[in-house]
């Protein structure tokens, strides 16, 4: 009983601190209000490399394409970039030298989702995820079953790892290093379409030199991506183990549902996770979000996260707000 009350109190405080606050978060809210959408789509994706994907997504929407086409074909741009070591065929392999890719997609209308995990040799895992959503009764396919399905759907295969990644992996293997979890990124792309609906997708090769079969947050609905057509969309990048245990993207959308702006929702999610996680500020987690008003925002557990935003008026990379040590409190959190 006591525990329940404490959790409830803590929860209420945390919400009170994000809604209508006049402090630090208040200014973030004001900035976002100023950027409120009047017309047109808002496309947000993780990292500077997401900008090329955003631009393609905008091109598709501008030509009258669907929100799902914009997400899928936008993400194709990053999946096609072999210089990108964390997405698609250019991605880093696992400890056995095999590239295993994760992806998911969500449609606000109908609250539909599709996902593939640890899929091998398929050039566009985002398309496999979309086919799972549109052509099966399931949400998620993994491993060899996911590959078989993709092949049956006629999806393109690709050689992976690339020669460069194979050489890096051989070097890593010869040194018998541990996979330190420092090498990874994801494209998470979320958008508010001109028709007022939300769509999103994620694609990654995950944690470099991970254990064979390891699946991160990116293909987990509510972890690496979440879309609620009544509220908004959120996506994640960073150490998946520190996102999926907390339903990270779902939390961001929930904060927005309770009145937080996108930036506030991302910050509050990082803080909520940090409070529970013994690793404190060393979480390596980052979120992006967009809401019904077309406001967008992002936050990370440390400095260094940047993300791409594209509307008909501009396409640019912005620096995410990092949660400060003061906001996080003592490392290791409050340990309820
Ligand atoms: N979240 C991805 C994973 O853990 C990696 C990343 O976004 O950095 O697989």
**pLDDT at res. 336:** 36
Q: How far from each other are the two terminal CA atoms of the chain, in whole angstroms?
A: 14
β partners of residue 307: 46, 318
Q: Cα angle at 291 between 288 and 292, to 5 degrees?
A: 160
Asked whether residue 278 carries a pLDDT value surpassing 90, the answer given is: no
Are 206 and 226 spatial neighbours (Cβ–Cβ below 8 Å)?
A: no
Query: What gap in Å lies between CA 144 and CA 287, rounded to an integer?
Result: 30
Strand 140-142, strand 112-119: pairing: parallel
Our mutation pick for probing the ligand 1 site, out of 238, 246, 302, counting the most ligand atoms within 8 A of Cβ, is: 238
CA–centroid distance, 30 to ligand 1, in Å, is: 31
Residue 275 confidence class, pLDDT cut points 50, 70, 90: confident
Ligand 1 proximal residues by C-beta, below 6 Å: 184-186, 204, 206-207, 216-218, 224, 237-240
Residue 179 and residue 37 in contact, taking contact as beta carbons nearer than 8 Å: no
Closest C-alpha residue for ligand 1 atom 1: 240
pLDDT tens digits for range 209-224: 999 999 999 999 999 9
Token pair listed for 176: 């018998």
CB-based contact 154:202 (threshold 8 Å): no
Tokens 């509220």 belong to residue:
231
Domains observed in the chain: 26-328 (3.60.20.30)
What pLDDT digit, counting tens, does each position of 47-104 carry? Answer: 999 999 999 999 999 999 999 999 999 999 999 999 999 999 999 999 999 999 999 9
Distance CA 36, CA 51 (A): 20
Residues 286-327: pLDDT tens digits?
A: 999 999 999 999 999 999 999 999 999 999 999 999 998 777
Euclidean distance between CA atoms 336 and 256, whole angstroms: 24
Q: Please check whether residue 302 is in contact with residue 322, taking contact to mean a CB–CB distance below 8 angstroms.
A: yes
Q: CA–CA distance from 97 to each of 91, 93, 320, 322 (Å)?
A: 11, 5, 33, 34
Task: Output the pLDDT for position 282.
Answer: 73
What is the number of alpha carbons within 13 Å of residue 139 lying toward its C-beta? Answer: 9
Point out the ligand 1 atom lying closest to the alpha carbon of residue 205.
9
Poorest-pLDDT segment among 18-27, 131-140, 205-214:
18-27
């Amino acid at each position: 009983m006591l525990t329940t009350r404490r959790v409830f109190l803590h929860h209420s405080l945390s919400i009170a601190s994000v809604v209508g606050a006049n402090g630090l978060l208040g200014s973030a809210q004001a900035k976002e209000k100023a950027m409120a959408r009047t017309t047109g789509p808002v496309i947000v994706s993780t990292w500077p490399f997401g900008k090329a994907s955003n631009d393609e997504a905008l091109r598709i929407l501008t030509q009258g394409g669907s929100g799902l086409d914009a997400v899928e074909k936008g993400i194709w741009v990053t999946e096609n970039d072999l210089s990108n070591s964390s997405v698609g065929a250019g991605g880093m392999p696992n400890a056995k030298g095999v590239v295993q890719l994760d992806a998911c997609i969500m449609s606000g209308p109908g609250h539909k989702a599709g996902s593939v995990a640890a899929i091998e040799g398929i050039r566009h895992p985002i398309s496999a995820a979309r086919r799972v959503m549109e052509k099966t009764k399931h949400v998620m396919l993994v491993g060899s079953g996911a590959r078989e399905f993709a092949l049956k759907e006629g999806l393109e295969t690709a050689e992976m790892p690339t020669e460069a990644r194979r050489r890096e992996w051989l070097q890593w293997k010869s040194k018998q290093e541990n996979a330190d979890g420092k090498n990874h990124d994801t494209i998470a792309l979320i958008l508010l379409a001109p028709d007022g609906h939300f769509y999103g997708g994620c694609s990654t090769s995950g944690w470099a030199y991970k254990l064979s079969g390891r699946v991160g947050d990116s293909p987990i609905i509510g972890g690496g991506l979440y879309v609620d057509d009544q509220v908004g969309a959120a996506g994640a990048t960073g150490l998946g183990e520190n996102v999926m245990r907390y339903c990270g993207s779902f939390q961001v959308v929930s904060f927005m549902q309770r009145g937080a702006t996108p930036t506030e929702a991302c910050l509050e999610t990082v803080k909520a996770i940090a409070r529970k996680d013994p690793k404190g500020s060393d979480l390596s987690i980052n979120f992006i979000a967009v809401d019904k008003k077309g406001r967008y925002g992002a936050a990370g557990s440390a400095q260094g996260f940047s993300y791409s935003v594209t509307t008909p008026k501009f396409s640019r990379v912005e620096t995410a707000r990092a949660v400060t040590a003061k906001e996080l409190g003592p490392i290791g959190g409050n340990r309820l």
